[in-house]
Copies of this chain bind each other. A is one copy, B any other.
């Protein structure tokens, strides 16, 4: 499937715009895992070479939009401070299948609880990195079936 991986971005870069190394490793692990399952993955920060392009937020947004419209499923990683980008992408993806992924020890924000409660998003709550990958695989496999 074509997976749009929606993630925090502008809050995860240093003053030069470079994505934090630990955060990048976490995302690369998820992307590699999904690609090994045969999925095509679009993830904004990777598309940008892990460096935020401050020069053209408008172009970045239109590219996002194009890839959300083309995806089969939007997987949103939430938890920690609210990401304005992830939340906007969740709205854009209203007619797509949405999987909302959150660490088990962090409460969902009000709006994201609403997405889960209303059935607009499937909820994956994970206890560890391994659990995250295993549950993500299960969630995406159930969509193909």
Contact = CB atoms under 8 A, between A and B. Distances in A.
A56 B117 CA distance: 8
Query: Which label, helix, strand, loop or mixed, suits the secondary structure of the A interface?
Result: helix
A113 interface: yes
Contacts of A91: 87-94
Interface of A: 9-10, 52, 54, 56-62, 65, 81-85, 87-94, 109-120
Contact of A111 (B85, B109, B120): B85
17 contacts: A9-B110, A10-B109, A10-B110, A54-B110, A56-B117, A58-B114, A62-B114, A62-B118, A65-B94, A82-B84, A84-B87, A84-B111, A87-B88, A87-B91, A88-B90, A88-B91, A88-B111
A117 B56 CA distance: 8
Nearest to A117: B58
A114 B57 contact: yes
Contacts of A110: 9-10, 52, 54, 57, 84-85
A136 to B, nearest CB: 22
Nearest to A56: B117
